[in-house]
């Protein structure tokens, strides 16, 4: 009996993982749908849908950058205080003092750029492959909300370094919100937690950036990927591409 076999026979292991290891189709299916995280995927996919040119893996790249952002973001939170003027000092400390701080900060920054960019390209890919059509029309709407959340995450993260770029970026952005008819002034007041971009605004943007928006994003990503399975798998280039006018 090998160590692997012994582990697989323990009652603890068998209480967690119930399927066998024999290379049968049944076991391969059980691996997917007995796992909370994998079961949003289909048990079987067509081989051609896995090819790079089928989807250019753009949704996957966006998801991968999201996972990097969550991981690096949590690590950055260990050194960051959302207060004035400590926020700017913490950002500088991460850049110049903390071991690997500049690496994590830049990884977070570049992944954020990549996430926006790949989400946008993913949207174009879906559009040109006509994958927004029924039965996938609802998933397109989910995707639009995800794009909005991505942009809001980008924007709220922009304030956190508390440098000149952040301050004026948020001044301009919240002045845009003020131009909304009737509720604009109130929206700006609620976003900033006051009339000027100051400590309250920093704290609000921090909570939105680190809790509210990521939770909404991760929930909707789950729905988005699960709907891909429910709507019949990923839609690559339409088969009638050459014949269509």
Task: By CB under 8 A, name the binding residues for other proteins.
Answer: 168, 171-172, 175, 189-190, 193-196, 198-200
Q: Which is nearer to other proteins, 127 or 168 (CB)?
A: 168
CB of 208 to other proteins, least distance (A): 11
Question: Measured at the alpha carbon of residue 150, what is the angle toward residues 62 and 157, in degrees to the nearest 5?
Answer: 115
* Cβ–Cβ under 8 Å, residues 52 and 234: no
CB of 112 to other proteins, least distance (A): 23
Q: Which is nearer to other proteins, 194 or 237 (CB)?
A: 194
CB of 138 to other proteins, least distance (A): 24
Residue 137 burial by CB count (10 A; 0-12/13-18/19+): exposed, middle or buried? exposed
* Cβ–Cβ under 8 Å, residues 221 and 146: yes
Task: In whole angstroms, give the CA distance from residue 191 to residue 207.
Answer: 11
What is the phi-psi region of residue 134: left when phi exceeds 0, alpha when psi lies from -120 to 50, beta otherwise? beta
Helices 137-159 + 199-207 axis angle, to 10: 140
Q: Which is nearer to other proteins, 100 or 175 (CB)?
A: 175
Q: Which is nearer to other proteins, 154 or 171 (CB)?
A: 171
CB of 46 to other proteins, least distance (A): 39
């Amino acid at each position: 009996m090998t160590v692997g076999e012994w582990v697989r026979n323990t009652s603890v292991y068998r209480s967690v993982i119930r399927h066998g290891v024999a290379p049968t189709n049944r076991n391969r299916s059980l691996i997917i749908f007995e796992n909370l995280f994998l079961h949003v995927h289909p048990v079987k996919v067509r081989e051609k849908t896995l090819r790079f040119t089928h989807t250019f893996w753009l949704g996957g790249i966006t998801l991968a950058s999201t996972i990097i952002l969550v991981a690096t973001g949590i690590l950055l939170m260990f050194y960051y205080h959302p207060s004035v003027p400590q926020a700017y000092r913490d950002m500088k400390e991460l850049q110049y003092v903390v071991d690997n701080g500049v690496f994590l900060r830049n990884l977070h920054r570049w992944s954020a750029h990549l996430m926006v960019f790949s989400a946008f390209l993913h949207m174009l890919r879906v559009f040109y492959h006509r994958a927004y059509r029924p039965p996938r029309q609802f998933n397109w709407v989910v995707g639009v909300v995800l794009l909005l959340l991505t942009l809001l995450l980008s924007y709220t993260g922009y304030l956190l370094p508390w440098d000149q770029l952040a301050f004026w970026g948020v001044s301009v952005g919240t002045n845009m919100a003020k131009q909304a008819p009737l509720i604009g002034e109130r929206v700006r007041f609620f976003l900033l937690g006051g009339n000027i971009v100051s400590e309250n605004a920093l704290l609000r943007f921090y909570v939105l950036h680190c809790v509210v928006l990521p939770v909404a994003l991760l929930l909707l990503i789950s729905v988005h990927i699960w709907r891909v399975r429910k709507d019949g798998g990923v839609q690559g280039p339409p088969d009638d591409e050459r014949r269509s006018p």
